[in-house]
């Protein structure tokens, strides 16, 4: 009887679980579709535009061509070895999906596949989180974690429809790799660790953040060894994972020999060596098992570690191992980037986050996170050590760089789910209301009792409920208190959960669903208006300029110009060449004639600037201008000086009090050219910086001519004048034209002061 009840429960559970998963998938995908509904099926932001362009290249060329793609439309005139400097995982994934769908007779536009890839993968992330959490606690915690993962804004921020970025699939792969690692580490199964290595390889092919896995798994192993928890299972799991994973990762052209040459990967190699020694020591110990062994062990360990570390230093010093990268240093010292590598500091997602953003991205999970970690600490199984290491590392990293909030979110979801599920295990357990039965009576279902039919099952259910009614004991007051306390606690948490869902939906729909290519704003009557200046400008470039025209713009817009306007750019968001970016920065911060010279030397035809003054858009080029100055000052400290762009009082001003250097700079002129004159009295109101610009502030523009200004003046495009036919400087020629027009005549002809003709 009981067994059959349990069987029924079991199958009911399976169905319920399946239903829950369907719901989680549904929620995960649908909540990410806000952007498509609010706006349209469009690729978002900046980097996705490159990924999209690369994907289009992949589906229109062979994989071989993609792998060896030399992109002559970016980083003019250097070009970019794109095939060798990208993580191809994302493009190959959507390329493969595109090909498969075509094979089965579903030809879908590649753009739609790219737009919807991130939502599709978020469902798998939820599943992987479930499996991961299940290994840590049980399946109920797993389900909670999966649900959290599906809707946590910290993850949604990088995976809404249209956010076609590496992170879109990388987080999924991260969780799958970790899940297989935990399984491998628990069981010592070669299969699981091979799977972990394969997914690690996939991760390496998809995102530079793979280094996180490369360091976290060795750290886990290292801590376990230090804790004296070495087992042969651990040896099998780690060595299998490391050998296969490393060899596989070296097949990605962009990674190449980094795993044995870069310091970021040395921890994994070191632990790989260490575990061999530990294994040997373990073997010797089992053979010798004497007191002496300990002494030998300690000495040899100290020796090995010191030799290893000094070897590392020596090899780094001699240049065989690449030193730590700048991005790595900036993880430890938040001021490092600001001083040494302004280009990294200039990226907003590399800034430290404000504290409220932790709550914003994770809501109540952020305070359940420590509770979950604490609960795991109490138990401290081998796999819990992994979660602890992960939590500690990632909390720090997320505190340094807002972008790494993304890697913190999964572990917050997992630990938060564990905390809640532990709480519910106790407080949702209303079995006191059931007839008291010793728990140990329940035994695992055995197969021989599998005779019950579905009809019988329903009878059993009736019996069960009848049992409930019969064994009800209302007499005990204590039991009532117990029930009341549980009801209060659990209902409180249910309310929290409800608010969490509400918060997630609200944040997703209002903050994380904007494509940033198209911006929402409000009409005076409150209705939504879309600001579509970017696409307007890019489309203008596409339709009105020569196919091989070169466009100079600050690097932020490089990928978009490449993707939407299909024109050659000087610099883009790949930022691999700081000097080249500094050249554009120098041109922007130099006076017109110097800028013209620099740009002409690089065959530039058009200059594109983003100007938010008319609209009040704060992300415009004048606000980024100081970074341009800083980056170029880093290369030419003699020619560009940041101090000259500030007033004597140290203010960043663009109005009549702006410094001469500021007013002469190309960026200033291109931004404000003709701007004041559209206002009455010639006094323009810069709504971004809240300063007044008068006609007299903006000098004449002689070397460039305005060819396009978008509807709300957000994007302005200028053409470099072709060289003067008479070989004159454009400035001189324009001055001459102005004196002709003003009609001032000089009666007396004076002998010119000329240099000696050579």
Partner 1 sequence: MLRRMRAALALFVMLFAAVNALSGDSVNTLVIYDQRVTDLENYTKFFKSLKESSYDKSSNQREYRVQFAAVNNGDAELLQLYRNDDKLYDNLIIFPLKTRQISKEISTAKLLEFYKDGGDILAVTSPEGLVEPVRLFLNELGIYPSPKNAVLKNFNEDGPSSKHQISIANSVNKYVYDGTEELNLEYDGSSALLDNGEYIVEILRAPRESVCKNTNSKEEDWSVGSQGHLIAGFQSLTNARTTWVGSSSFFDDEHYSANGAFIEELTKWAFSEKSVIRSVGATHNHASGASYEEIPYKIKDEVVYEIGLSIWDGKKWAPFSADDVQFELRLVDPYYRLTLSPGRVTEDTQYYTTGTFKLPDHHGMFTFLTEYKRSGLSFVTESDTRAIRHLANDEYPRSYEITNSWVYLTAIGSVIISFILFVVFFIASSKNIPVDSVKKQQ
Which spans of this chain sit near partner 1 (rule: CB under 8 A)? 64, 67-68, 70, 72, 76-79, 81, 84, 253, 548, 601-603, 723-728, 733, 736-737, 740, 745, 749, 751-752, 754-755, 757-758
Closer CB to partner 1, 463 or 724, in the complex:
724
Distance in angstroms (rounded) separating the CA atoms of residues 661 and 658: 8
- Minimum separation from the CB atom of position 215 to partner 1 (A): 28
Helix ranges restricted to H, 346-445? 356-362, 365-379, 382-400, 405-427
- Minimum separation from the CB atom of position 84 to partner 1 (A): 8
- Minimum separation from the CB atom of position 731 to partner 1 (A): 14
Closer CB to partner 1, 461 or 603, in the complex:
603
Closer CB to partner 1, 555 or 611, in the complex:
555
Tokens of 334: 């938040």
From the CB of residue 182, how many other CB atoms can be counted at a distance below 10 Å?
A: 25
Residues 6+ apart with CB under 8 A from 382: 185, 186, 224, 229, 234
- Minimum separation from the CB atom of position 83 to partner 1 (A): 8
- Minimum separation from the CB atom of position 20 to partner 1 (A): 39
Distance in angstroms (rounded) separating the CA atoms of residues 612 and 233: 60
Closer CB to partner 1, 232 or 492, in the complex:
232
- Minimum separation from the CB atom of position 182 to partner 1 (A): 23
- Measure CA 673 to chain center: 36
Closer CB to partner 1, 81 or 198, in the complex:
81
Question: Would you call 492 exposed, middle or buried from its count of C-beta atoms within 10 A (0-12, 13-18, 19+)?
Answer: exposed
Helices (H) and strands (E) in the chain, counts: 32, 9
Tokens of 570: 């000087």
Tokens of 219: 């750290």
500 near 363, Cβ under 8 Å?
Answer: yes
Distance in angstroms (rounded) separating the CA atoms of residues 741 and 739: 5
32 near 152, Cβ under 8 Å?
Answer: no
**Over 287-301, what HEC string results?**
HHCCHHHHHHHHHHH
707 sits in which H/E element: strand 704-709
Nearest to 715, CA basis, from 588, 582, 621: 621
- Minimum separation from the CB atom of position 64 to partner 1 (A): 8
> 645-654 burial, b if ≥16 CB within 10 A, otherwise e?
bbeeeeebeb
Q: 3-state DSSP call for residue 252?
A: coil
Closer CB to partner 1, 15 or 740, in the complex:
740
Distance in angstroms (rounded) separating the CA atoms of residues 720 and 601: 12
Closer CB to partner 1, 75 or 241, in the complex:
75
What are the φ/ψ torsions at residue 249 (nearest 5 degrees)? Answer: -65, -25
Closer CB to partner 1, 444 or 727, in the complex:
727
Residues in the chain, total: 758
How close are the terminal C-alpha atoms of the chain, in Å?
113
Closer CB to partner 1, 443 or 745, in the complex:
745
Closer CB to partner 1, 81 or 433, in the complex:
81
- Minimum separation from the CB atom of position 587 to partner 1 (A): 13
- Minimum separation from the CB atom of position 163 to partner 1 (A): 30
Closer CB to partner 1, 451 or 726, in the complex:
726
- Minimum separation from the CB atom of position 744 to partner 1 (A): 12
- Minimum separation from the CB atom of position 749 to partner 1 (A): 4
- Measure CA 11 to chain center: 40
Q: Calculate the dihedral angle through the C-alpha atoms of 406, 408, 414, 415, rounding to the nearest 10 degrees.
A: -150
Distance in angstroms (rounded) separating the CA atoms of residues 312 and 309: 5
Closer CB to partner 1, 439 or 749, in the complex:
749
- Minimum separation from the CB atom of position 726 to partner 1 (A): 6
CA distances from 444 to 331, 589, 620, 634 (A): 51, 75, 65, 70
- Minimum separation from the CB atom of position 280 to partner 1 (A): 16
Closer CB to partner 1, 455 or 543, in the complex:
543
- Minimum separation from the CB atom of position 725 to partner 1 (A): 4
Of all residues in the chain, what percent are helix, strand and coil, respectively (each to 5)? 65, 5, 30
Nearest to 482, CA basis, from 440, 434, 441: 434
Distance in angstroms (rounded) separating the CA atoms of residues 367 and 564: 43
Closer CB to partner 1, 650 or 752, in the complex:
752
């Amino acid at each position: 009887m009981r067994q059959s009840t349990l069987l029924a429960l079991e199958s009911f559970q399976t169905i319920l679980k399946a239903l829950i998963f369907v719901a989680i998938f549904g929620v995960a995908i649908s909540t990410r579709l806000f952007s498509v509904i609010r706006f349209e099926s469009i690729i978002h932001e900046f980097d996705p535009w490159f990924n999209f362009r690369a994907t289009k290249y992949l589906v229109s060329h062979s994989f071989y061509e993609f792998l060896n793609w030399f992109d002559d439309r970016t980083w003019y005139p250097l070009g970019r070895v794109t095939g060798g400097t990208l993580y191809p995982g994302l493009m190959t994934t959507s390329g493969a999906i595109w090909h498969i769908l075509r094979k089965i007779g579903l030809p879908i536009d590649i753009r739609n596949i790219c737009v919807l890839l991130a939502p599709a993968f978020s469902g798998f992330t939820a599943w992987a989180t479930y499996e991961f959490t299940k290994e840590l606690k049980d399946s109920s915690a797993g389900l909670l974690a999966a649900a959290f993962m599906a809707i946590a804004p910290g993850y949604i921020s990088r995976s809404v429809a249209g956010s076609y970025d590496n992170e879109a699939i990388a987080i999924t792969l991260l969780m799958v790799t970790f899940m297989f690692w935990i399984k491998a580490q628990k069981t010592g199964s070669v299969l699981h660790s091979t799977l972990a290595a394969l997914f690690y390889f996939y991760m390496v092919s998809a995102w530079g953040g793979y280094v996180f896995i490369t360091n976290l798994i060795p750290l886990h192993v290292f801590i376990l060894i230090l804790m004296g928890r070495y087992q042969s299972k651990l040896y099998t799991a780690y060595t299998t994972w490391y050998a296969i994973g490393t060899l596989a990762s070296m097949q990605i052209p962009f990674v190449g020999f980094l795993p044995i040459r870069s310091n970021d990967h040395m921890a994994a190699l070191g632990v790989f060596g260490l575990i061999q020694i530990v294994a040997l020591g373990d073997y010797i110990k089992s053979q010798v098992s004497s007191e002496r062994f300990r002494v030998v062990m300690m000495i040899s360990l100290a020796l090995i570690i010191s030799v290893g570390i000094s070897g590392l230093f020596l090899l780094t010093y001699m240049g065989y191992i690449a030193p730590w990268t700048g991005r790595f240093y900036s993880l430890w010292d938040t001021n490092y980037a600001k001083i040494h590598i302004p280009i990294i500091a200039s990226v907003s997602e590399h800034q430290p986050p404000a504290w409220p953003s932790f709550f914003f991205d994770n809501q109540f999970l952020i305070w359940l996170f420590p509770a979950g970690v604490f609960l795991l600490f109490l138990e401290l199984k081998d796999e819990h050590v992994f979660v602890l290491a992960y939590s500690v590392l990632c909390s720090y990293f997320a505190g340094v760089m807002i972008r790494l909030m993304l890697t913190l979110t999964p572990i917050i979801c997992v630990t938060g789910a564990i905390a809640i599920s532990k709480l519910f295990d106790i407080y949702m357990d209303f079995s006191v209301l059931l007839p008291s039965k010793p728990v140990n009576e329940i035994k695992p279902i055995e197969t021989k009792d599998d005779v019950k039919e579905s009809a019988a099952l329903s009878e059993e259910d009736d019996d069960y409920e009848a049992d409930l009614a019969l064994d009800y004991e209302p007499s005990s007051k204590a039991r009532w208190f117990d029930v009341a306390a549980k009801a209060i606690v659990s209902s409180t948490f249910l309310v929290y959960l409800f608010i969490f869902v509400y918060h997630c939906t609200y944040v997703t729909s209002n903050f994380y669903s904007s494509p940033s290519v198209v911006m929402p704003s409000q009409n005076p009557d409150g209705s939504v208006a879309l600001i579509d200046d970017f696409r307007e400008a890019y489309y203008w470039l596409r339709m009105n300029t020569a196919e091989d025209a070169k466009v100079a713009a600050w690097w932020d817009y490089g990928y978009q110009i490449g993707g939407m306007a299909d024109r050659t750019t000087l610099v883009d968001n790949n930022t691999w060449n700081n000097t080249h970016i500094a050249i554009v920065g120098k041109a922007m911060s130099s006076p017109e004639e110097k800028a013209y010279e620099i740009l002409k030397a690089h065959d530039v035809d058009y200059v594109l600037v983003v100007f938010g003054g008319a609209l009040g858009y704060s992300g415009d080029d004048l606000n980024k201008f100081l970074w341009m100055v800083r980056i170029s000052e880093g290369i030419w400290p003699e020619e560009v000086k940041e101090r000259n762009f500030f007033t004597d009082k140290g203010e960043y001003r663009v109005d009549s009090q702006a410094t001469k250097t500021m007013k002469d700079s190309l960026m200033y002129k291109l931004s404000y050219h003709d701007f004041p004159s559209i206002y009455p009295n010639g006094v323009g109101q810069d709504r971004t910086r809240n300063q007044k610009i008068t006609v007299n502030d903006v000098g004449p523009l002689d070397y460039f001519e305005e060819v396009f200004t978008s509807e709300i003046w957000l994007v302005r495009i200028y053409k470099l004048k072709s060289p003067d036919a008479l070989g004159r400087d454009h400035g001189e020629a324009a001055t001459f034209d102005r004196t002709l027009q003003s009609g001032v005549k000089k009666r007396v002809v004076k002998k010119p002061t000329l240099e000696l003709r050579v």
